[in-house]
A and B are shown apart, each in its own frame.
Chain A
Amino acid sequence: MSLVDWTLDGVLAALLPLIAWGVVTAASLDKAIMLFIVLGFVSALAWARLDAIDVALVEAAVGSGLTGALLLSALPAIQPRLRRPSSLARRAGVGALLAGITIWLGVTTLRLPARSGGLAELVCENIEQSGALHPITAVLLDFRGYDTLIEVAVLLVASLAVRAVQRPRLRPGRRGEPTSEPLASFLNLLVPASIVIAGFLVWEGSHAPGGAFQAGSILAGCGVSLQLTGERPALRMTLRVRAALVLGLAVFVALAGAPLLRGHDLLDYPRPWAGPLVFALELALTVSIAVILVTFFPGAPDRPEPPARAADSP
């Protein structure tokens, strides 16, 4: 570690809490959201410095990109009820509490064991038997595959709940304003590029950083762009869309249940087949994750209702 490395890490580590603080204290919401997106960028750099390349991939895609867009999606609707600061007493109380928590947690963190391999060694020993050569994919889809099974259920439940609260008349896609020339050509480039990148990332996932979540969120980013620009209407709940929504969870549940029928534990893939099965699972998950992430977005930007005055006046 040279001085430059240290400075680089130091600057990154200092920027993160600073920007985070900026997000929660910014005077307006669009500023806060923009800083949040910037925070995502900077954290992706931090993940890269910490050799967490998979996390950096997901952060770049889901963490900042799609989350930022999601937060923005509510902005036009909620904008009028902005800037109601909480009372000074509450802020002071929370501030004092927070200072205490920060110092306490900080001291605790710095006193953690300085060197610990965690489960790294155990993962490396068992990776040959698992369904993937990349340690993180192996943990996600094999060693701790059960976590991921529940996580996919979380995604699906969130998608169903989002559909449930959306007003029916907002569901059919409204085509937005006509797409401008540069935007159209950009989209023409984006769609094929996204598909290629997503396919590449799924393939990489079996032996290198990459995988279903990364690929799915790239595809979703492309889908969301098409939807936001009015190029494509919002997804309707046709049979095909529903099939795509549940495909990942269905394959996962089948893979979890099949070994039970043979008297094994759940998710205990037959070992020679573990690799292909995990790859098939990744493909199914990619499709589902992409579609689910797209359903998180409203069809076209919701405009606040026109003031009720028009209806009230005789």
Chain B
Amino acid sequence: MSGTTPWISWTILAPLAGATLSVLVARRAVPIAVIASAATIVSVAATVGQVASAGAVSSAAGAWGAPLGITLRADGFGALMLATFGVVGPLVSLQAIGRRGGPRARRFLVLWLFAWASLNALALSADVFNLYVTVELVTLAAVGLIVVERDRRALAAGLRYLLLSLVGSLFYLMGVALLYAATATLDTELLGERVTPEPASWTALALMTAGLCLKAGLCPLHAWVPPAYTSAPPAVSALLSGLIGKAPYVVLVRLWVEVFPGSLGGGAARLLGALGALGIFWGSLLALRARRLKRVLAYSSVAHVGYLFLFFPLGTAGAWAGAAYVAVSHAAASASMFMAVEVVERSVGHDMLDATKGVAHRRPLTFVALGLAGMSLMGLPPSGGFVAKWLLARAALERGEWWWAAVVIAGGLLSAGYVFPILRGAFAPQRRSPELRRAPRHAELVSLSLAVVALALGLIPLRLMALLKLAGRS
């Protein structure tokens, strides 16, 4: 790849270098993290620009190239995920910088930089074993983030998440072993050419899919999700639900679209779709019954993972655009909601559903953020969530499979059922103004900016769609 600047590699090396340095110079961790984040954002923006103007960009690590070496490849999908990580992640991490760099904030920043590097690496990797290694880095960094406050419930949730994740990874790795034994390559593109319909490949696909579904929290394998998302610090929950939870899905899509394109829309894909639909209903029902704001958001994340899986049975370009849009808009909306809940919890002292009472008047920014992000979660126009669901439903109707569209619409109605109570509490008339504690101002601003991003995704969908089409698949 001579001639063009290798921005694609810097998106991984810049956060890694920043993380390394801030471990070494712990006292200056915050400024180092800020500089590294800025460098990473520039690299991400440049990579996305290259992809938008010239199509897929790639770089062969060590100049070896497949099958001997590992290739980094940014296609439309990769660029889209890079952009998502690069917008939502730094915004969420701002809250740690706002805390003036206590030891917790330093730990958070270092682990986040590692997580960011691994997420970017995951979005760019075109090698099934390298994907395993990056997924493990994502997992360990995520567990580190969950347990960073050493709270007992967070420790228990982190341990559970770690163990289940490891089991999932090993199923995936077993699949990698079978694929390599059958085809002597690990590169996704070469695998796509060499994989033949034989027992080893199907077994590999099944093992890898099962492992990744466990890690993605697809219903009924979602039991680890609520404890992890509710006991971690809010900023970590925002990262987990918004970004890190999407990582296994990215790998899964690479697998199904690039390595096994023939299986999209088939029986196994329909099973995944059905589990997705189950997740939409079950997650939404549990969210309806939940009494704590964080639980509502955690179950809502389970439901949104379900939408992502509707892509597999449909398998069309339209469905793909819809699923990718769900991923991006949920990342922004969910992170915004978690940050807003942080403000509410800090102001009121708890996160029960009625905690939002009085927030509308005293914390208008947070209320606006809750409203805008809630619109996106519900799929009301003109939000990113609306475009996502509309694309999915349209793709289903185009294929004549109306039941998937019905699932999408029913899921939207159910989500209205659990988002409205959050907002309604804020409108409730109050005899006397409740005593509010000081809440972090920057968390309010972060939450609002993320909510605006979620909304903007619905207003400027065409440019993103152009990026998606460049993927040139499905």
Contact = CB atoms under 8 A, between A and B. Distances in A.
A–B contact, 8 Å CB criterion (strictly below): yes
Interface of A: 104-105, 107-109, 111-113, 116-119, 122-123, 126, 142-147, 149-151, 153-154, 156-158, 160-161, 164-165, 167, 237, 239, 242-243, 245-246, 249-250, 253, 256-257, 260, 263-269
A308 B130 CA distance: 47
Nearest to A153: B137
A157 B144 contact: yes
B318 to A, nearest CB: 35
What 10 A-B pairs come out closest when comparing CB atoms?
A: A161-B144, A146-B61, A266-B9, A268-B63, A267-B62, A108-B203, A150-B133, A118-B184, A265-B63, A146-B70
Nearest to A104: B203
A150 B6 contact: no
A111 B200 contact: yes
B140 A158 contact: yes
B203 A151 contact: no
A150 B137 contact: yes
A250 B24 contact: yes
Nearest to B182: A112
12 contacts: A105-B203, A112-B200, A118-B180, A119-B68, A119-B184, A119-B185, A144-B69, A151-B133, A167-B150, A237-B26, A242-B24, A260-B13
Interface in B57-114: 59-64, 67-70, 72, 107, 110-111, 114
B61 A246 contact: no
Contact of B6 (A111, A158, A266): A266
Contacts of A126: 64, 68
B354 to A, nearest CB: 34
A104 B133 CA distance: 26
A150 B121 contact: yes
A263 B200 contact: no
B68 A107 contact: no
Nearest to B204: A108
B137 A157 contact: yes
B90 to A, nearest CB: 19
Interface residues of B, number: 58
Contact of A253 (B20, B63, B174): B20
Contact of A245 (B23, B150, B200): B23
A75 to B, nearest CB: 16
B2 interface: yes
B200 A108 contact: yes
B199 A108 contact: yes
B287 interface: no
B199 A107 contact: yes
Contacts of A116: 181, 184
B298 to A, nearest CB: 22
Given A253-B13, A268-B62, 9 more contacts: A116-B181, A119-B185, A144-B70, A145-B61, A146-B69, A147-B70, A153-B114, A157-B114, A157-B144
Contacts of A109: 178, 181
Contacts of B140: 154, 157-158, 161
Interface in B181-220: 181-182, 184-185, 198-200, 203
Q: Most chain-B Cβ atoms within 10 A of its Cβ — which of A122, A153, A158, A268?
A: A153
A250 B68 contact: no
B69 A143 contact: yes
Contacts of B111: 157, 160-161
Nearest to A122: B68
B129 A147 contact: yes
B199 A265 contact: no
B16 interface: yes
Contacts of B60: 265
B48 interface: no
Contacts of B9: 256-257, 260, 265-266
Contacts of B178: 108-109, 112
Contacts of B62: 142-143, 145-146, 265-269
A143 B64 CA distance: 6
B258 interface: no
A249 B17 CA distance: 9
Contacts of A122: 67-68
Contacts of B269: none
B118 interface: yes
A169 B453 CA distance: 44
B44 interface: no
A146 B24 contact: no
B1 A265 contact: yes
A267 B61 contact: yes
A143 B68 contact: yes
A164 B130 contact: no
Contacts of A243: 24
Interface in B311-356: none
Contacts of A146: 61-62, 69-70, 72, 130
Interface in B1-45: 1-2, 6, 9-10, 13, 16-17, 19-21, 23-24, 26
A20 B147 CA distance: 31
Nearest to B22: A246
Contact of A165 (B63, B134, B155): B155
Given A118-B184, A119-B68, A147 B133 contact: yes
B199 A160 contact: no
Contacts of A156: 20, 23, 114
A161 B148 CA distance: 8
Contacts of B198: 111
Contacts of A144: 69-70, 129-130
Nearest to A141: B62
A84 to B, nearest CB: 15
Q: Which of A116, A164, A250 has the most C-beta atoms of chain B within 10 angstroms of its own C-beta?
A: A164
